[in-house]
Amino acid sequence: MKTIGLLGGMSWESTVPYYRLINEAVKRRLGGLHSAKLLLHSVDFAEIEALQRTGDWEASGRQLATAARGLEAAGAELLLIGTNTMHKVAPAIEAAIGIPLLHVGDATARAVRSAGIVRVGLLGTRFTMEQDFYIERLASHGLDVLVPPSADREDVHRVIYQELCAGRFEPDSRERFRRVMSDLVARGAQGIILGCTEIGLLVDDGDASVPLFDTTRLHAQAAVETALGD
């Protein structure tokens, strides 16, 4: 079993499911008392969020690259960034390490294509929904990506940062997400990517009429498959 390195804390609310999902998958595969070999570097998300707000992606890339090098030096043999948004700085992190970086967009796109879906809706932070780094990664796998209109994007972004990242899961917000997903389906989405690692804490398969693709779950599963040599 290879040792997984996880860059977490963005937010820690979704890092907890990463740890649980990875260990559950290892247990299913190997049985007994087996658990994952895993190293975690958990950042102070307030520092990262401040850099996001000011658009200083270069500084956040340097910070996460330093953390990634530390994980590699400690024995990590593959790396996960436990957040969709910060894959914007994935190139800076990859350039700083000599171990594979498993991109959440690749793991997600493979699952979507395996389900026979081509046109997919995307929910996430406004950075993920509006900037090219994530949508183009999905498009490179042959996916046609739909995002909500501007007002809905702002609402989804607000719920993520003000509620989900703070451990708040409000029924009204769940209803809003249901409406946004329903609108994407009406526009032709055959499935919905939960492109922020906290969204799966708020909604699940019963909240939409099409398949939901939880990036946290899919990323964790890809890590275990790689660690176990699948």
pLDDT digits (tens, 9 = 90+) for 98-156: 999 999 999 999 999 999 999 999 999 999 999 999 999 999 999 999 999 999 999 99
Marked catalytic residue, from 15, 83, 108, 215: 83
Encode 59-85: b = buried (16+ Cβ within 10 Å), e = exposed: ebbbbbbebbbebbeeebbbbbbbbbb
Residue 95 is which amino acid? Answer: A
**C-alpha–C-alpha distance, residues 29 and 27, integer Å:** 5
Supply the pLDDT for residue 48: 97
> How far is it, in rounded angstroms, from Cα 12 to Cα 43?
9
What average pLDDT does this structure show over 177-195? 98
Sheet holding 144-146, edge to edge: 144-146, 119-123, 191-194, 212-214
Segments in 119-214 forming alpha helices (H): 126-130, 132-139, 150-162, 171-186
pTM of the model: 0.96
**pLDDT (mean) for 83-94:** 98
Q: Are the C-beta atoms of residues 194 and 212 closer than 8 Å to each other?
A: yes
Domain with CATH 3.40.50.1860 in the chain: 4-103+218-227, 105-214
Chain-centroid distance of CA 112 in Å reads 14
| Residue given tokens 């009406």 in the structure block | 186
Respond yes or no: is residue 165 known to be catalytic: no
Torsion-angle region of residue 39: left (phi > 0), alpha (psi -120 to 50) or beta? beta
Q: What is the pLDDT of residue 137?
A: 98
pLDDT at 43: 98
Handedness of CA 151, 103, 11, 201 (dihedral sign): positive
DSSP state, residue 196: S
Concerning whether 83 is annotated as a catalytic residue, the answer is yes
Across the chain, mean pLDDT equals 97
- pLDDT band of 23, cuts 50, 70, 90: very high
> pLDDT tier at 157 (50, 70, 90 boundaries)?
very high
Catalytic residue among 15, 108, 125, 196: 196
Is pLDDT above 90 for 173? yes
Query: Is CATH 3.60.20.10 what the domain over 4-103+218-227 is classified as, yes or no?
Result: no
Cis, bond preceding 209 (omega within 30 deg of 0): no
Q: Does 5 score more than 90 pLDDT? A: yes
User: Look-up: residue for tokens 């997400």?
Assistant: 177
Question: Residues 28-46: what's their mean pLDDT?
Answer: 97
Q: Which tokens belong to 157?
A: 């972004």
At 203 the three-state DSSP class reads coil
105-214 maps to CATH 3.40.50.1860: yes
Q: What is the pLDDT of residue 211?
A: 98
> What percentage of residues in the chain have a pLDDT greater than 90?
100
Report d(CA 145, CA 160) in Å as an integer.
Answer: 20
Contact call for residues 60 and 52 (beta carbons, < 8 A):
yes
